[in-house]
Amino acid sequence: MIKVLIVLFVLIFLAQIIRVFEISSNIGKNKNEVTDSSNNINGIFLLIAGIVLLVFFFWQRAEWMHLTLQTPASEHGVIIDKLWDTTMGLIMFVFLLLTPMLFGIAYYFRGRQDRKASFITHNNKLEIFWTAIPAVVLLALISYGLNVWGKIVNQDVSDAIVVEVYAKQFGWSARYAGEDNKLGSANVRYVGGRNELGVISKNTKENQIKAIDEKIDKLLAEIENSDNPAEKKLKSARLEKLEKKRKTLLTYFITTSEEQLLAAEDDVVTKELHLPVGKKVLFKFRSQDIIHSAFLPHFRVQMNCVPGTTTQFAFTPTVTSEDMKKEMDNELFDYVLLCNKICGNAHYNMQMKVIVESEEDFNKWMESQNENKIINL
């Protein structure tokens, strides 16, 4: 195989040497190889390429248009789609206007022996025209987009249902505010055992402090009974870390108000999102490890989940899961929460089922989640 590659390389090298020799031998000769016939052939091929491009454009729209955004399932999704349609409509208008002009002009003004190309150094009016028009159009699009975004983010969320979406490699969790509709405080340092979201409550504090105390007592006993200096040193270092962690947890607990501790007790943690149709939901996004991106395509929602901070987005679902199944003629359809950032080798696992249902069914589901309340963890 290597010998074949070497022979092939040598042949290519020799062919290039011969070609360079042929080109160099023609330098200085006033030989014009370009003819009207070759120009006509090139012009016709270019015109055919333009026609093929336009035919392909219309074909792929007819063939694949159904794979683009489906019916929006949220109130703000309607204006998002209008913004999308406006932008794409403008792009297609420019494409369909300029593409025939580009290929048509190239064909019409193809080279001919009896015609000499004119040379223009510059044209101030033309430069102003092709600079000002795109600038005005872009300014209009940006203003329109900012107006739409302002309507989406500046909503009244005083009566919204509060839900926290928590991301980590590689899965999602949801935390619903209880009857008080207030989420309790949380900190990644409290993550452990069944407290996957690091919620700070009296219950979670006592359980985690108890678990740390048990580890400390076990290490102390092992250090006392060990005769190996290296082992003692290693376990002493682990003991120091545990004591530091215990102190940190107590500090967070002390700085958390009684109101926040009580607010956390009726929070409900689930692995499935349920949303009531027609009711505004305020999502608060957190991440345990790296930046994830919560993506709900049918609701036209995307928001980054950033470690150490909380981001939020509010919207109102307008189409139940059952109604969307009928509209899409697909009984297997489910709304889904995805991660829109490649967050690691198991990124494909970042999916959570979303169920939009009537307010009555949603309330029944919430009542059935008693065992998932923080107070019972």
Where residue 341 sits, what CATH number does that domain have? 2.60.40.420
Residue with tokens 């926040």: 260
Tell me the pLDDT of the chain (377 aa) as tens digits. Answer: 666 667 777 777 777 777 777 766 666 555 556 788 888 888 898 899 999 999 999 999 888 887 777 789 999 999 999 999 999 999 999 999 999 999 998 888 888 888 887 778 888 888 888 899 999 999 999 999 999 999 998 988 989 999 999 999 999 999 998 888 888 888 787 787 777 888 887 777 777 788 888 888 888 888 888 888 888 888 888 888 888 888 887 887 777 777 777 778 888 899 999 999 999 999 999 999 999 999 999 999 999 999 989 999 999 999 999 999 998 888 999 999 999 999 889 999 999 999 999 999 999 999 888 777 776 66
From 190, 247, 186, select the one nearest 216 (Cα to Cα): 247
What SS3 class is residue 199?
strand
Quote the DSSP letter at residue 160.
P
Residue with tokens 């207030």: 182
Residue 106 lies in a domain: no
Give 175: exposed, middle or buried? Use CB within 10 Å, 0-12, 13-18, 19+: buried
Q: Look at the pTM and tell me if it is higher than 0.85.
A: no
Residue 306 lies in a domain: yes
Q: Whole-angstrom Cα distance, residue 265 to residue 176?
A: 11
Say if strands 273-276 and 351-357 run parallel, antiparallel, or are unpaired: parallel
Q: Whole-angstrom Cα distance, residue 110 to residue 102?
A: 12
Count the Cβ atoms, other than its own, within 10 Å of residue 114.
5
Q: Which domain holds residue 295?
A: 161-184+267-376
Total domain count, the chain: 1
Query: In the 3-class helix/strand/coil scheme, how is 296-324 assigned residue by residue?
Result: EHHHCEEEEECECCCEEEEECECCCHHHH
List the beta strands (DSSP E) in the chain: 161-168, 171-176, 268-270, 273-276, 281-287, 292-296, 301-305, 311-315, 335-339, 351-357
Strand partners, 274: 355
From 184, 243, 234, 185, select the one nearest 209 (Cα to Cα): 243
Residue 20 lies in a domain: no
The secondary structure of the chain in percent helix, strand, coil, rounded to multiples of 5, reads: 55, 15, 25
Strand partners, 301: 296
Residue 259 lies in a domain: no
Residue 130 lies in a domain: no
Give 296: exposed, middle or buried? Use CB within 10 Å, 0-12, 13-18, 19+: buried
Residue 165 lies in a domain: yes
Q: Whole-angstrom Cα distance, residue 24 to residue 148?
A: 62
Residue 102 lies in a domain: no
Residue 319 lies in a domain: yes
